[in-house]
Chain A
């Protein structure tokens, strides 16, 4: 029997709050791939990621992970939110941020063990932030911040990783370090989804790509679907019409206009 796909989305539609709408997305991604999610601004890349993780309730549709439901793999999924959604002033040190990655696994009433603390050090070392563990999170540079969040995802030792623009606005060195870690994870058989802005690195680094613009434009191996025509289809002006239509649909279903 063919193994269940790493991620399977069946007819997912989302129309919730201020998030962009998503229309009838169905796709399959095999396990153990490094997957790029690309599309223009407001195409619903983050929305897709959040609805896969159950952070946004979908209108309809089903998501499964290696044949299991979200509930069953919840603790095996690591999420790195977009930088903008993080409260950088929060009273939190880098060490405690990374330790937080273990909270889900620990469950209620259990405190982090000595081993957990040792692991924090291990993963901080892996992302090259050893000397920074006692800093408040806002006292890091852009690249360091992203690496700290990566460490928190790594310590979850998950099977699925979801990263919302981890490569946005960081230095070349950090982005190379992050990419090296992503590849390492992939080689261990993990499935990694990365929302991207920069199309250039898709070909160099990723195995699989999801092209999105409110609807699914294409999903498949980079070598097959990451072509000029499909990229044009994703970013082209034909989609402006869809955007208008989507906005109208939103108004009709909600009963009032946003603008």
Chain B
């Protein structure tokens, strides 16, 4: 079994682990810049656009006999080619009036196509370099060493610093460019600086996750973080943490799975780069499903809860109406007459009502309790207040208001009820000339 601390102490493991965590943090941090401007696709295009530059960079660094890895030439080559790509996108959008997604796509395929062509040429002319070129396609985190840690730490510190220093400008500029310009907040070089950060993140990230998967590191963590916060500063921080977490878990699972499979005798490799990307996408998916405010599953749960409460309140209302008519002990069939529930479902719901103390069971008959009478009266009150409001204030026909009130009686809050009472001057009768119970739920 692998212990967690090994990832930070083992000389072979710590390079990729800490390096990827720092890379994940920085890329996710920078990714927020593109994300909040709704330009996440830019990362995808830039990473692909950098590919031909990276290949030229590799050739140059071999020519000048530099060591393999993150050489100066690869950085410069990749950046230049990414900038060229962006310049083209900008040109297509502004001068040729091609839509943003169209220009981004076109530049992506154009540059990547050139890159792939270059790669095949190199494959036949310098076969020994082909492996290195390929490694930039899918990333090669496993070969990172201690020097990478320092490099990535510097980079992470740099982007955090820039974003912290220019936070207010970034906020204003990303939110509304025209406003920022009108208020004198925008300086053209700030816009350029932010774009430069994105290019830098892409170029540095492709070493570990590769050209093809790079953009995931820019998109997935901000997307996940966005589900939890409405504040830009928190979004930056949370996104960075998600990115860092993906970096670690990617390394962890990559090793864990390889270990597990090798124990069974199968030799499967789980490359770190793709694993990081999968983890970050998984985190984003989880956030979309389970975030407390907007998570899909959570929303479904809230909807289901509302339906259950509605059914309970409706059953209570039915009993209330029946006991209004003088029927104090009710049978299951009497209460369930208008509902399409099975007897078992009905019993379950009535059991809940019983737990809430609204009704009690004596000799297989249901009796309304004082708490239930009060509660039922309040629902009726909301129903009739709403009907009266629709008729008196909005001029809706008397015959058309029942259906809307059936829904609103479960929704109106005590504050809205107070407002309605004042608005309608504490009414005693609804449009059907039926009494409106008082705020204690009692019919006077």
| Interface status of B196 (Cβ within 8 A of chain A) | no
| Surface stretch bound by B, among A79-87, A170-178, A221-229 | A79-87
Closest A residue to B183 by beta carbon equals A104
- B178, A81: Cβ atoms under 8 Å? yes
| Interface status of A92 (Cβ within 8 A of chain B) | yes
Whole-angstrom distance between the alpha carbons of A75 and B179 in the complex?
Answer: 12
Shortest beta-carbon distance from A152 to chain B in Å: 9
Residues of chain B contacted by A87 (CB below 8 angstroms): 38, 175-176
Given contacts A85-B176, A136-B230, contact A103 B181 (CB under 8 A): no
Residues of chain A contacted by B175 (CB below 8 angstroms): 87, 90, 92, 100
| Interface status of A126 (Cβ within 8 A of chain B) | no
- A81, B176: Cβ atoms under 8 Å? yes
Interface residues on chain B, number (Cβ under 8 Å): 24
Closest B residue to A17 by beta carbon equals B94
| Surface stretch bound by B, among A28-36, A105-113, A179-187, A232-240 | A105-113
Whole-angstrom distance between the alpha carbons of A104 and B232 in the complex?
Answer: 19
The 0/1 profile, CB within 8 Å of B marked 1, for residues 129-152 of chain A is: 000000010000000000000000
Residues of chain B contacted by A86 (CB below 8 angstroms): 176
The 0/1 profile, CB within 8 Å of A marked 1, for residues 169-202 of chain B is: 1011011101101111100000000000000000
- B36, A100: Cβ atoms under 8 Å? no
Residues of chain B contacted by A156 (CB below 8 angstroms): 183
Q: How large is the interface on A (under 10, 10 to 19, 20 to 34, 35 or more residues)?
A: 20 to 34
| Interface status of B235 (Cβ within 8 A of chain A) | yes
Residues of chain A contacted by B166 (CB below 8 angstroms): 108
The 0/1 profile, CB within 8 Å of A marked 1, for residues 199-221 of chain B is: 00000000000000000000000
Shortest beta-carbon distance from A7 to chain B in Å: 15
Shortest beta-carbon distance from B419 to chain A in Å: 14
- A91, B230: Cβ atoms under 8 Å? yes
Closest B residue to A76 by beta carbon equals B184
**8 Å CB interface, B136-191 against A:** 165-166, 168-169, 171-172, 174-176, 178-179, 181-185
Residues of chain A contacted by B171 (CB below 8 angstroms): 92, 96, 100, 103
Residues of chain A contacted by B235 (CB below 8 angstroms): 91
- A103, B178: Cβ atoms under 8 Å? no
Given contacts A86-B176, A103-B172, contact A79 B183 (CB under 8 A): yes
Closest B residue to A97 by beta carbon equals B175
Whole-angstrom distance between the alpha carbons of A156 and B178 in the complex?
Answer: 16
Residues of chain A contacted by B426 (CB below 8 angstroms): none
Residues of chain A contacted by B231 (CB below 8 angstroms): 91-93, 96
Given contacts A92-B232, A136-B230, contact A53 B182 (CB under 8 A): yes
Name A residues whose Cβ lies closer than 8 Å to a Cβ of B. 50, 53-55, 74-75, 77-79, 81, 85-87, 90-93, 96, 100-101, 103-104, 106, 108-109, 111-112, 136, 156, 162
